[in-house]
Amino acid sequence: MTDAKPAPRLRSRAWFDNPENIDMTALYLERYLNFGLSLEERLVQTILTLKLAQGALGEDGDRAAGLLAEALEQVERSNAELRELAHGILPSVLTHGGLPAAIKAVVARLELPVTVEVTATRLPPEIEASAYFIAAEALTNVVKHAQATSAAVTATADAGTLAIEVRDDGIGGADPRGHGLLGIGDRVAALGGRLRIDSPRGAGTIVAAELPVAAQKERPSA
> For residue range 64-106, what is the model confidence (pLDDT) as tens digits?
777 777 777 777 776 666 655 544 456 778 888 899 999 999 8
pTM of the model: 0.60
Same domain, 77 and 94: no
Which CATH number goes with the domain that contains 157? 3.30.565.10
204/102 same-domain check: yes
Is position 221 within any domain? no
| 147 vs 50, higher pLDDT | 147
147-161 pLDDT per residue, tens: 999 999 999 998 899
Question: Residue 176 has what DSSP assignment?
Answer: T
Domain housing 113:
90-212
What pLDDT does residue 209 have? 96
In this structure, are 74 and 95 located in the same domain?
no
Residue 217 lies in a domain: no
Is 219 among the domain residues? no
Q: How far is CA 195 from CA 66, 163, 165, 172, 206, in A?
A: 42, 10, 10, 17, 10
Residue 220 located in a structural domain: no
- pLDDT for the residue 35: 53
Q: Are residues 165 and 132 in the same domain?
A: yes
